[in-house]
Chain A
């Protein structure tokens, strides 16, 4: 009997193992392997060399690009957190009726009915030199000359990131906030805590797992992105994703693989550090 229980256990785990093995583990192993290969202009050949890595770590530009990637992630994180937390707080604590909550929550998801790229590109005519934003500013007399840094700058890149990814912060935070036992808030108020004190000492600590899940979403999405940076900066700025995509376009697969491996390790380290602060399993 024990034997068959053993077998059925293995069988039950098998489909997931096969899927994860075939579509997650194997490709990652492949990427790691290829990252040691060499490349000519139009082909790659098996080898075991550290050229790709030594170039990566030896180039000042690559360091700068990694730094820029962290910069984008950090700034985007700060904004999405501030906005996401506020929106979730409003939904969870200010909106009383459940129906209204659901309706407003669905409203937040409406932009997601169109494609990522379209939402991003629609900023371009809006922010452009002769775009709506600049025409409005000029007609209001705020500025005389069109503001150039609105488009094709770090500003437009981060604006697009915040726009695209705030919902990933709203959802998990809203979810955790809804689970907070309301009697805890009543107790805090009964004990004379001000609204801010309640927020600071009751709601915020209890929302941490949601914040952490949202953070992981936003940080990984921003660090892995390349298309937003390319379009919103007019190809003028770079993050690690763009390095990889450039390499792939130029058929330098081993170099792209090496960069991917370094990026993967970096992101895993960031998540590892984040998870030390909060036990999100408690939440799940």
Chain B
């Protein structure tokens, strides 16, 4: 705590304020020293983009080294090697696993400039005051701790945040409307015998189990108390239903990587499957119709954020706060939103998007002209609307969040058996 009262700190604070006022990229006082700083960030591929690293160098002056790993390796590294990183870019369910190890430090929200503008999902848990909080590891439930050094999560906003939210989205099933030829409205369709040998789910246990739960619940076979934290009986029942479907030949294949999901869909091997938003885009960009189908039971949502390593102190820590403030100031948000993800502070991102892009991606309005992603690929043409509609329609219909269960190890074993069955 005493560190927080360093006088240099207050200079920096006013420096940061000066930046805000003058929109200079970095405070001039430490502009020279900051060039030597390197922050090591690691995380899953989604937001670990080289463009972000380059822009940090341009805008803030310091170097951001990025390492992309799969979510299992990310979890392991965050939990076991706190000195190997400065910034962890992790999902909220990973935070639930990793935070108790004490390898991350809580962040003082009073130093986060745009804190007030962060979407409600990450603070009170409610998108709008009327929203119902979804099941699973909802971000706000692992988003705060009582104070620095605390290893248990707080129930409400405390001023000490575990992760600063960066990127999130609502996932659903992807379908090939041309090969199905009729409306799809429910998760139950994944196990509809009509699509025998033409369905797929992803072979990543922590996410796949949630998709399974959405299906079983929609079928009315199982009523879960909390899909994000199943009992052993619920796990057994869920796998029984899916193992039977597998034995009956419902699934064409399971996929583990992004590319596999794209190929399965594009080649017509599969017409309905769990999918990620950018994979839909990749299929579409080959000129093949593919829809990220909104379903009446709602979405399975996920969110990621950046956390700071416990060993981050002094100037590096200041640089990290600088980075976080920059992250929320709009450029990254715009960059991510133009790929179909959402930013934690949408209103700052708006300045970095055209009115047409904002209308298409956020407001669910028909596109006025070609909508391109930051890499120049055309994702939608004039008149197209986004699958699922506006931000509030999509994020307002989240049924559950990606989660880690108390019975995780049991579930993982069952998952292995399901794959081998």
Contact = CB atoms under 8 A, between A and B. Distances in A.
Decide whether A and B assemble into one complex: yes
Interface of A: 41-43, 55, 59, 61-62, 64-65, 124-125, 128-131, 148, 151-152, 230, 233-236, 238, 242-243, 246-247, 249-252
Q: Say whether chain B's binding surface is mostly helix, strand, loop, or mixed.
A: helix
B410 to A, nearest CB: 11
A42 B73 CA distance: 9
Contact of B246 (A125, A151, A236, A251): A236
Q: Say whether chain A's binding surface is mostly helix, strand, loop, or mixed.
A: loop
B285 interface: no
Contacts of B101: 42
A246 B417 CA distance: 11
In this complex, the member of B246, B264, B268, B413 whose beta carbon has the largest number of chain A beta carbons within 10 angstroms is B413
A41 B254 contact: no
Contacts of B246: 236
A59 B420 CA distance: 12
B75 A42 contact: yes
**Size range of the interface on B?**
35 or more
A243 B419 CA distance: 9
A62 B419 CA distance: 11
B252 A41 contact: no
A223 B289 CA distance: 41
Contacts, number: 80
B80 A125 contact: no
Given A129-B267, A246-B416, A252-B412, A42 B79 contact: yes
B74 to A, nearest CB: 10
Interface of B: 70, 72, 75-76, 79-80, 97-98, 101, 197, 200, 203, 205, 246, 251-256, 263-264, 267-269, 404, 408-409, 412-413, 416-417, 419-421
Contacts of A242: 419-420
Given A43-B79, A130-B267, A235-B253, A250 B419 contact: no
A251 B75 contact: yes
B269 A128 contact: yes
B417 A236 contact: no
Given A41-B409, A246-B419, A247-B416, A129 B268 contact: yes
B409 to A, nearest CB: 6
A243 B415 CA distance: 11
A193 B305 CA distance: 79
Contacts of B264: 234
A152 B75 contact: no
